[in-house]
A and B are shown apart, each in its own frame.
Chain A
C-alpha cells in the first residue's frame, strides 16, 4: 500500500521562474493538502483540494495555485518565484467523511531552492 508520494525530491530554480510540484495521495484517500515548511519552522497550510476544487486556503498569495485531478493526485504551482519561497513543500492526504477521523498522511516533501 503506497503512501503519499511527491515528486521531484529536490528542485532548484531561479527568481522569477515558475515551478510545479506533484503529489499522489495514499491509496483510498480523496483529499490533498499542501504545506510550506521554511527552514527551522513548522509547516504552514497553503490550501486543500477535494473533488477537484480548492476547499480551504491559508494565508498565501495568488502566486500559489493548485489543481486536483480525477484520480485525486494534485499539483502545486508557484509563479514568479521569490527567494523566500525556498522551503520544503509537504503534501498530505486524507479521506473526507471517514468515520474514525483518520488524520492526514504526509509525504516526504519536495525541497525547493531558489537562487
Chain B
C-alpha cells in the first residue's frame, strides 16, 4: 500500500537558519511528488512538484526539494528561513497529479 511518512512532527528553527524537512514514501513506481504548505485556518498552497526529469526542483518562496529514488525520499529545503515560513508542511505522493496521499505533516516554528 502507498504511504508517506514525515518523521518530524515539529521543527523549530531560528530565523535566517537553513531548513530541511524530511519525506519518505512507499510506492510501487516513481510517483508524482508534491510539497504543500498550510497556514492556520487556510487551505493548501503548492510549494513545488516533481514529475520527472531533473531531481532537484525549485519552488515558490525560495524552497527546493530533491528526489532521491534510491532512498525513496523527497526532502524539502530552504537556505534561509523567514518568520513568515512558520506553518504546517505536507509532503504528498500520487499516481496522478490530482489524486494524492498526504503525509501527516511537519509543523514549523520560527524563532527570532
Contact status B100-A45, CB under 8 Å: yes
Across the interface, do B44 and A94 meet the contact criterion of CB distance under 8 Å? no
User: Which of A12-20, A67-75, A98-106 contacts its partner?
Assistant: A98-106
**Residue of chain A at shortest CB distance from B105:** A42
Chain B contact residues (Cβ within 8 angstroms of A): what range? Answer: 20 to 34
Residues of A within 8 A of B100 (CB): 45
Residues of A within 8 A of B49 (CB): 103
How would you classify the secondary structure of chain B's contact residues: helix, strand, loop or mixed? strand
The CA of A88 and the CA of B86, in the complex, are separated in Å by: 20
Q: Are B98 and A42 in contact (CB under 8 A)?
A: no
Given A41-B105, A42-B105, A33 and B44 touching (CB < 8 A)?
no
Interface membership of A66, Cβ < 8 A: no
Fill in one digit per residue for A73-115: 1 if any B CB lies within 8 Å of its CB, else 0: 0000000000000000010101010000111111111010000
Would you call B43 and A33 a contact (CB within 8 A)?
A: no
Residue interface bits A11-38, CB-to-B below 8 A is 1, else 0: 0000000000000000000010101000
Mask for B55-96, Cβ within 8 A of A = 1, else 0?
000000000000000000000000000000000001010000
Q: Which residue of B lies closest to A90 (CB)?
A: B43
Contact B98 A103 (CB under 8 A): yes
In the complex, the chain B residue whose C-beta lies closest to that of A29 is: B98
A33 to B51, CA, bound (A): 20
Q: How far is B102's CA from A111's CA once the two chains are assembled, in angstroms?
A: 19
Query: Which of A40, A48, A105 is in CB contact (< 8 Å) with B99?
Result: A48
Known: A45-B101, A96-B98, A108-B42. 4 other contacts (CB 8 A): A42-B90, A43-B102, A103-B49, A103-B98
